Chains A and B, each alone.
Chain A
Amino acid sequence: MKRGVVLLVVLCFLLTGATALSSSPNELVVYHWWTAGGEKEAIDVLFEVFIDEHPEYSIVQNPVAGGGGGILRAQIKTMIMAGNPPDTFQITYGHGMISSFVSVLQPIDDLIEGYNIPEDVYEWGRVDGVMYGVPLNLMQNNCLWYNVDLVEELGIEMPIKSIDEFLGICARVKAEGYIPLAVGAGMGQQFWLGTLFEAVNSALPGGGADFFNDYYAGKTIPSESEVFAETLKVLRTLLVNGFINDDYSALTWDQGSDLMATGKAVFYVMGDWAKGHFTSMNMVPKVDFGYQPFPGTDDVFIGHADCFVLPIGVDRKIAKDWIQFLTTVKAANTFCPIKGAAPFVLDAPLDVYDDITKEILGYFRDDGVVKVLSQFGAPPESYLDVFGTAFSEFFNTPEINDNTLGNFDYAYAEVFLF
């Protein structure tokens, strides 16, 4: 009998399992993907300022490496499905991306009431008229970065005004023994090829907003679009002439940017978060590196934002305080300057921003510049992965024929029809 009791006690202990570890009321569990230079420092300081305002709170941050957040989103999904969502997490801001999560998110309209941002920005993120994410930082995607020393050494006149001029300069740069255009889209980050596609497309007649508004809404079959094929032709020109580093598929985005930063490449196309990476390497804007909108796209602003959301089931004051804190000028002007991004808040003083950010913000606030929501926000989430693969196949075999276009049609159907 005694032995039986002991056995039962052992059994109970074994079956007890791990008790659910819920965070304390004063601990904010945050998931984000800001781990690269510039962005990591920015989010750390933002957390510090939040804690300064709310000394009773503490932060449990879970940074998940991987530019673009693909790995983080995968992790978040498993947590949500297991009924254990974090208090808040980061996703890219835009109706397409948010739609992919909307069934597990809470509306936050009442929490961000009075957030002084342009109406366009609200529209970017609304799903069926409802706000689910608070956009924190404005990002421009169609940026051309260049190494100032190399541009001066090669006598390249900046800004470059058209795609044809750019291709001509690339040929000159190549002849001088430098990589004309650095690209890093490897190790699962093939979606950066989509960023280059957006920039090139926007420089072509019929591209930009005219193309992307329908394309990202599932209304443009790639093989039936003339400008889609024209974009591929330009990309093919870059590839077959050796204007792009041939190890692009072995480099991450920041390793790609390092080619430009270290003087191996002259140009680099990437969103303005690259600026934060450059400054974290002690490079000075307009001294060591320069910026212009991708040639031929100074009338187009391809942008998106990062935002934080509240999962369904999270009803904690601390999480709501965090969301409300992100709508303040203090939050914007703490985070954005370090990350290299621009603030959305219309009344944010701009003296803390460098000249390049002010220039980017100038484009964004210019009514003559058309705003286009990027691949990170406009289409459904699956676009990034499906088209990342499709672009990667094209970059690998840059032929434009029925088979290539068929591959893109197949990918398009996968995103919008399957």
Chain B
Amino acid sequence: MSKRVQILLFILPGLLLVGLFVYGFTAWTLQVSFTNWRDVGSAGDFVGLDNYIRLFSTDRVFKASLVNTLKLTLVFIGVTIPLGLFLAVLLDLNLKGRQIFRLIFLLPLSFSFVASASMWTWMFSPQIGSINTLLRAIGLGSLAQPWITSDKQALFCIAIAYVWQFSGFSTLVYYAGISGVAPEISEAAKIDGASTLQRYMKVIIPMQRPATLTVLMILLMYSLRVFDLVWLMTGGGPGSSSEILSTFMFRTAFNRNRFGYGASVGIVMFVISILIVIPFFTRLRRSEYE
């Protein structure tokens, strides 16, 4: 048996499983999205692009979900990356208590989303939540907010919870990147008279492009398919103010029995992910070869 056949035999199970459960079911979802399947027991009829036309022409909640998803992504990534970098720099500075802070920064990563959602829901509760209780206790009751019960703040609250959960991951990747900078480079900058701030700003941080790309890629891929915290904290409410594409898809398919229509939402999510992720992959590969 040739080596090639042996290798193929070993990777065949994985290939088959990925082929079936990833590509097979994606293709099946695409097929379902062209039908009007709207009942648990029957597969529906072919309706061409009707689902997509309805999505982009008359469906108000879909448009709101799309905008909310993009908003959540922007806030989530826009805060998590700089925050992770800042915390990684702090860890690298050899400050007192660095070990304990490293543990504190990474702790949220170990939380399950259900536990996080319960905790943040309780913290954001306007009446009994710890945030408003604290504000009232220190005489700043006028700053107490409705948080997750407000259509203007619910999405922002969810973003905070996601940032909290993922900032540890971002910190970890940047810390590894910063630790990987050769000490000679940093020393050379020091000899040339660079201050600590200048060393980080001009030498170490500019070298973190691969780490940034990695964090950006992973957070982007995750943010486009977030579901758990949104579903558990607000259920997409109040109204549709924190509805995002994944909760809208779930709701449409499993609470409203519009399986064909729900599949079309899933395909839209898939296409958006592909459009965003592929250029990044291409860029990443190119930077590896450079």
Contact = CB atoms under 8 A, between A and B. Distances in A.
Given A15-B16, A187-B121, A246-B126, A81 B40 contact: yes
A382 interface: yes
Interface in B1-55: 1, 6, 9-10, 12-13, 16, 39-42
29 contacts: A3-B1, A3-B6, A4-B1, A10-B9, A11-B12, A74-B254, A80-B40, A100-B40, A102-B41, A103-B42, A104-B41, A186-B234, A186-B235, A187-B234, A187-B235, A188-B236, A188-B237, A189-B235, A246-B146, A246-B149, A247-B125, A249-B148, A250-B124, A385-B256, A392-B237, A392-B238, A396-B151, A396-B241, A414-B256
Interface string A389-418: 100110111000000000000100010001
Contacts of B42: 103
A248 B235 CA distance: 13
A249 B149 contact: yes
Given A100-B40, A188-B231, A382-B256, A247 B127 contact: yes
A357 B27 CA distance: 54
Given A102-B41, A103-B42, 17 more contacts: A11-B9, A14-B13, A15-B13, A15-B16, A73-B254, A103-B40, A104-B40, A186-B149, A187-B121, A187-B234, A188-B231, A188-B232, A247-B128, A250-B149, A392-B238, A410-B60, A414-B256
B149 A70 contact: no
A316 interface: no
A250 B147 CA distance: 9
Interface residues of B, number: 42
B239 A77 contact: no
B169 interface: no
B166 interface: no
Interface residues of A, number: 48
Interface in B246-271: 250-251, 254-258
B87 interface: no
A381 interface: yes
B233 interface: yes
A312 B40 CA distance: 12
8 closest cross-chain pairs (CB), A and B: A103-B41, A188-B235, A393-B239, A74-B254, A385-B255, A382-B256, A14-B13, A396-B238
A190 interface: yes
A81 to B, nearest CB: 7
B143 to A, nearest CB: 16
Contacts of A1: 1
